[in-house]
C-alpha cells in the first residue's frame, strides 16, 4: 500500500508542523508523506517568499502553470491532496501592504467576530480567486485558522487558558502574543519569533489533542471534515 502524498502550501514552517500533526491524528495510522511546496524553493515554481504574500505568489504561479486554474496544474500527477493554508488575519491586509500590484479589490475582507466564519468565508473566496477557481477543486483542501494557526496550538496545549474558556479564542486578535506569555519552559513564541524547535517538540501533544482542538475551534473542525473528504480510499 503506497503512502498518501500530500502537498502543503502554507505561510511558514511552524504552520507545517501544526498541520502535519492534525493530519497524523485524522489519518489514524495511515501512512502519508507531507511535502512543503511553499515556502520553499522548487524546480517548478522557484522562490516565492514567505508569509501570506508567499502564498499569494505561489497560488498565482500555480494557476498560471495550469492555464489559469490550479485544478489543471500537473502537480496533481504527483500529489493526491493539495492543502492551501492562509491565516484568517490576512483578511485585514491590503495588497499594497504586501507590495502586490493588482487590480483586485477583495482585500481587506474582514468582518466582525464572532462569528469567525464571516471572515473566513470571505477569505476562502479570495484564496480561491488566487488559485483561479470559483469553488474548491477536487483533491484540494483549504486551511484557514481564525485568527491564526497559533489559536489551534493554544487549544491543544493550553485548554484551560482564559482565552479558551471564555469562548473567544477564534476571535482573539493575537494568539501568538498569548503564547509568548507562557512560562519559559513551555514558551513557543519569544519576542515575536516562533521557536520552530519548540513547535516540533510539541507536535505529538498537538496530534493527541486534535479532537479537542476540533471541539474548540470551528475552523479546525471544518478543515478536518474537508480534508477527510479529499482522502482517497485505500488501494
Q: Looking at residue 81, what is its pLDDT?
A: 98
Q: Looking at residue 42, what is its pLDDT?
A: 47
pLDDT surpasses 90 at 36: yes
Q: Looking at residue 185, what is its pLDDT?
A: 84
b/e sequence 38-56, b meaning 16+ C-beta within 10 Å: bbbeeeebeebebbbbbbb
Q: Looking at residue 186, what is its pLDDT?
A: 83
pLDDT surpasses 90 at 152: yes
Q: State pTM to two decimals.
A: 0.94
| Each residue's pLDDT tens digit, 167-185 | 999 999 999 999 999 998 8
Q: Looking at residue 46, what is its pLDDT?
A: 46
> Which strands form 140-143's sheet, in the order they lie side by side?
32-38, 4-9, 81-85, 140-143
| Each residue's pLDDT tens digit, 87-134 | 999 999 999 999 999 999 999 999 999 999 999 999 999 999 999 999
Is-contact 31 62, C-beta < 8 A? no
pLDDT surpasses 80 at 45: no
Cis peptide before 114 (omega within 30 of 0): yes
Q: In this prediction, what percent of the chain has a pLDDT beyond 70?
A: 95
Q: What is the mean pLDDT of residues 131-151?
A: 97
What mean pLDDT value characterizes the chain? Answer: 94
Q: Determine the Cα–Cα distance for residues 133 and 235; give it in Å rounded to an integer.
A: 29
Q: What is the CB neighbour count within 10 angstroms for residue 29?
A: 5
Amino acid at each position: 500500500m503506497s503512502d498518501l502524498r500530500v502537498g502543503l502550501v502554507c505561510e511558514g514552517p511552524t504552520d507545517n508542523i501544526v498541520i502535519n500533526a492534525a493530519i497524523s491524528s485524522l489519518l489514524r495510522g495511515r501512512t502519508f508523506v507531507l511535502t512543503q511546496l511553499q515556502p520553499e524553493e522548487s524546480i517548478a515554481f522557484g522562490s516565492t517568499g514567505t508569509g501570506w504574500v508567499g502564498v499569494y505568489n505561489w497560488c498565482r504561479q500555480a494557476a498560471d502553470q495550469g492555464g489559469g486554474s490550479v485544478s489543471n496544474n500537473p502537480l496533481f500527477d504527483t500529489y493526491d491532496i493539495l492543502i492551501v493554508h492562509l491565516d484568517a488575519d490576512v483578511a485585514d491586509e491590503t495588497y499594497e501592504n504586501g507590495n502586490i500590484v493588482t487590480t483586485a479589490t477583495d482585500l481587506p475582507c474582514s468582518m466582525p467576530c464572532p462569528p469567525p466564519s464571516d471572515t473566513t468565508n470571505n477569505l476562502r473566496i479570495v484564496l480561491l480567486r488566487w488559485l483561479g477557481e470559483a469553488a474548491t477543486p477536487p483533491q484540494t483542501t483549504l486551511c484557514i485558522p481564525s485568527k491564526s494557526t497559533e489559536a489551534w496550538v493554544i487549544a491543544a496545549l493550553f485548554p484551560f487558558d482564559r482565552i479558551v474558556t471564555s469562548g473567544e479564542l477564534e476571535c482573539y486578535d493575537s494568539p501568538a502574543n498569548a503564547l509568548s506569555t507562557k512560562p519559559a519552559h513551555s514558551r513557543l513564541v519569544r519576542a515575536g519569533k516562533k521557536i520552530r524547535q519548540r513547535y516540533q517538540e510539541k507536535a505529538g501533544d498537538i496530534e493527541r489533542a486534535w479532537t479537542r482542538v476540533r471541539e474548540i475551534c470551528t475552523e479546525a473542525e471544518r478543515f478536518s471534515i474537508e480534508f477527510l473528504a479529499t482522502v482517497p480510499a485505500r488501494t
